[in-house]
Structure 1
Amino acid sequence: MDSQIHLPTEILVNIVTFVAADDTRNIYRQRSLHACCLLSRQWYSAAISFLYEKPQISSGRSFKRFTDTVCPPVAARKSKYNLGGFVRRLDLSMLVHHSSNSLTARLLGRIKKNLEYFVAPSASFASNSLPALSKCHNLKHLDLFLVGDAIPFAQLKKTLQHLTKLTTLRLPRSTALTVQDTTSIDWPPNLKRLQLSGSFEPSAISSFAWPPNLTNLALRSCRDLSVNALGSLASSPQLSARLKCLTISNTNRNLQPESINAIPAFLPGLSFLSVPGDLVEETFFDILIYMTPPLALEILELGYPYEYNTRLSFSTISVVEALKGGLANLRALGFAEVFCTEQRILEDEEIDDILQKRADKEDPAKSNDELDDINYGVYYL
């Protein structure tokens, strides 16, 4: 019987790297890597870090298996490997009541070394997880949107201030900003993308110290985005100077067309704007027709409706005229699928022709890293 062929570990690592690169279906990736770990001790040492790099946690059962392995009870047998140190990406958004506040805190303590991407669960993330979170020094993306427990904003901000690699933050839906929260606690120095949710006092927002390098802001599930509230936010000199991308979700409350109309005047430097399509009325484009100089806006998205209204309240003629004025720099116009009637698609062809002609005149040297994945023309969300 032939003896087993021995392959250098470097070759095994290359093979496992190829297996790990298959992200078409994460479940198959996990199964394949697990199978690699079962082949031999050499295969195990080559594949184990990839297996735990971004575990798939889609149920309470898989979560229990994962936590029993990564942070087992005191009396349990422990692996000689620090398995938690291999975790770089952890998404717990599928969990509801499958964990506890103490277990989530303990889990974060075990995976803090190399964690780069973390999505918190809705019902088992609370203030007691903050000490471990503050030690996740490699964290780049933190999503706390689903968190239901109220966490004082100042306490959360103090936790994150020394996470120098953090670039993206989604605040909890339970966030409540008051005037007292406009403190001098520093933001993470490289934070560029922020999602604001929950409630806030307009007076707090008017004096709010935004992250100094903020370029992308999303407003989602805010309890009051009335004209006054959104006006207080958009009139911030700090946002006017730096903000490039603004997304206003249809999940916000008290939105009005007048709020949307005011955005170009307050934030003329935006390159990307996404708003609920049914709140964009004829007056929005009427204002833009005569706006000089033109806005910097390159991409305008008319997203899913605020009031389940599937009809748009403006004419194609108004859009075409605005493209000659305040929208002279626009290169793409997006529509939510619910607005895509046969008539709408026919009318969009005229807009698409104008934008495609702009593409022919585009300077090849021009580059916008935030927007380069969008081409010229009309597209559908």
Structure 2
Amino acid sequence: MTSALPIYLPTEIVVQIVAVVAADEFARQPTLYACCLVSRQWYSCAIALLYEKPQIDTGFGFTKFTKMISPPIGARKSKWNLGALVHKLDLSSLVHHSSPSLTARLLGRVKDNLEIFYAPRASFALNSLPALSKCSKLHFLDLSLVATPIPFRDLKKSISNLQNLQALRLPQSTSITNSESNSFEIPWPPHLRRVQFSGYFTAAVMHSFPWPPSLTSLALKNCSDLSLSNLSSLMCSPDLSRTLKRLTISGQNRYLSPECINAILAFIPALSFLSIPGDMVDDTFFDLLCHMSIPTLEVLEFGYPGVDSAVYFTTEGLLGALEYGLPNLRAAGFAEIFCSGDGMLDDDAVDDFLLNRAESKKNEPGAVVSDSTMHVQPGVYYV
């Protein structure tokens, strides 16, 4: 009895099967690895997707990955340039599984096509910057977990020529003082639009801090001193008032107060999106909105609390601000902790107000929705 001949599938069909497998984020990595073991044909179809965005969330997985990307001397090497297949490298789950020299070597191996990079906490340091500067296709760079102090001038110099960089999260160890003022002359990447600002800075130096000229979105998180004087000096830049459209202030900032939140309205009058910690808002904020009015604001988000889950403003105060100070607000976001239990917000009333206003404005001539918020549905959403 002869054995059945193996069924041949055209390469185009195998490519389609592998693409379906790759779309399942949960099972993507092990299934693509299994596909590579079927045959040479399946290997050639699956290998690029296997290394496109490797899932490296354990020390064991990281060790296997580094041996393939940067094999030891004398080890068998793949005919593929595996490092060039990597488009996204997320090392944020690693703590003590690497070293600064190994991180630098990995960046050197994957520099050709790397687009997204999340740096590890303990193994990204000054000696990683030369390799980082050669990742010319990088458009998203997250250094927010980096704890090792890196001079701001050196960091800025290393990324200044990354022509495709659009989003940057600065290290929580960032320090901008008078000694770093000589870094101001170094240009930012030309297309940098989104920045998460973290670390330590002084009010005196921030008065002259040069923001990226194309900046439209700014997030403040893990700042060591976001008191009223420091926040005011940071936000008073004419560059920000001219270009900034989205502002996010996390609850994870020290010395943040309701007075800081109220002051924002005076500095950035043309925002389309504003996210602030819900426990830092009181009815004074809405009274100011009623007097000032911000017709450009389309999304207002009350994010996770920084200190406690208490609500210090009323639903009536918010509805009054929607009526008189935020004529074009389309959506309001709430951390769910503010919308449950006795004495919490009546999110249904806010949702009804926004939906009714959206319906009444739908057919108004000349109604325009900005590109930055057009994906947000009218009404209440939860964060």
Is the TM-score greater than 0.5?
yes
**What residue is the counterpart of 1:6 in the other structure?**
8
Check whether the contact 1:264–1:295 (CA below 8 A) recurs between aligned residues.
Answer: no
Check whether the contact 2:338–2:344 (CA below 8 A) recurs between aligned residues.
Answer: no
Check whether the contact 2:315–2:345 (CA below 8 A) recurs between aligned residues.
Answer: no
**Distance in 2 (alpha carbons) for counterparts of 1:344 and 1:13:** 56
> Are 1:249 and 2:254 counterparts?
no
Check whether the contact 1:92–1:121 (CA below 8 A) recurs between aligned residues.
Answer: yes
**Distance in 1 (alpha carbons) for counterparts of 2:14 and 2:370:** 39
Matched to 2:288, the amino acid is I
1:328-350 deviations in Å (ceiling 9; x for gaps): 11111122122122456772322
Post-superposition offset of 1:75: 2.5
Check whether the contact 1:93–1:121 (CA below 8 A) recurs between aligned residues.
Answer: yes
Post-superposition offset of 1:295: 3.6
**What residue is the counterpart of 1:304 in the other structure?**
304
**Distance in 2 (alpha carbons) for counterparts of 1:135 and 1:346:** 50
Check whether the contact 2:339–2:346 (CA below 8 A) recurs between aligned residues.
Answer: no
Post-superposition offset of 1:208: 0.7
Post-superposition offset of 1:377: 1.4
Post-superposition offset of 1:176: 0.2
Equivalent positions of 1:190-205 (< 5 A) are 190-205=191-206
**What residue is the counterpart of 1:137 in the other structure?**
136
1:205-224 deviations in Å (ceiling 9; x for gaps): 11011011111101111001
CA-based RMSD: 1.6
Post-superposition offset of 1:138: 0.8
**Distance in 1 (alpha carbons) for counterparts of 2:300 and 2:59:** 40
Post-superposition offset of 1:12: 1.9
> Are 1:163 and 2:162 counterparts?
yes
**What residue is the counterpart of 1:377 in the other structure?**
379
Matched to 1:226, the amino acid is S
> Are 1:72 and 2:71 counterparts?
yes
Check whether the contact 2:311–2:344 (CA below 8 A) recurs between aligned residues.
Answer: no
1:288 alignment partner, SS class? helix
**Distance in 2 (alpha carbons) for counterparts of 1:303 and 1:344:** 18
Matched to 1:298, the amino acid is E
Post-superposition offset of 1:179: 3.0
Check whether the contact 1:291–1:325 (CA below 8 A) recurs between aligned residues.
Answer: no
Post-superposition offset of 1:121: 0.4
**What residue is the counterpart of 1:215 in the other structure?**
216
Equivalent positions of 1:87-126 (< 5 A) are 87-126=86-125
Check whether the contact 1:355–1:377 (CA below 8 A) recurs between aligned residues.
Answer: yes
Post-superposition offset of 1:196: 0.5
> Are 1:50 and 2:49 counterparts?
yes
**Distance in 2 (alpha carbons) for counterparts of 1:235 and 1:113:** 39
Check whether the contact 2:300–2:333 (CA below 8 A) recurs between aligned residues.
Answer: yes
Post-superposition offset of 1:61: 0.5
**Distance in 2 (alpha carbons) for counterparts of 1:33 and 1:172:** 33
- Unmatched tracts of structure 2, length 5 or more: none
TM-score, reference length from structure 2: 0.94
**Distance in 2 (alpha carbons) for counterparts of 1:149 and 1:345:** 41
Q: Structure 1 residues 176-185 or 200-209, which shifts more?
A: 176-185
Task: Call closer, same or farther: CA 1:281–1:85 in 2, change over 3 Å.
Answer: same
**What residue is the counterpart of 1:276 in the other structure?**
277
1:49-102 deviations in Å (ceiling 9; x for gaps): 011111110110000000011101122221111111101111111100000111
1:182-231 deviations in Å (ceiling 9; x for gaps): 42111111111100100001122110110111111011110010101111
**Distance in 1 (alpha carbons) for counterparts of 2:333 and 2:110:** 40
TM-score, reference length from structure 1: 0.95
Matched to 1:57, the amino acid is I
Matched to 1:84, the amino acid is G
Check whether the contact 1:275–1:303 (CA below 8 A) recurs between aligned residues.
Answer: yes
> Are 1:15 and 2:17 counterparts?
yes
**Distance in 1 (alpha carbons) for counterparts of 2:180 and 2:244:** 21
Post-superposition offset of 1:372: 2.8
**What residue is the counterpart of 1:351 in the other structure?**
350
Matched to 1:287, the amino acid is L
Number of equivalences: 376
Matched to 1:227, the amino acid is L
1:290 alignment partner, SS class? helix
1:229-280 deviations in Å (ceiling 9; x for gaps): 1111111111011111111111100111111001112101111111111110
Matched to 2:287, the amino acid is D
Post-superposition offset of 1:9: 2.3
Matched to 1:198, the amino acid is G
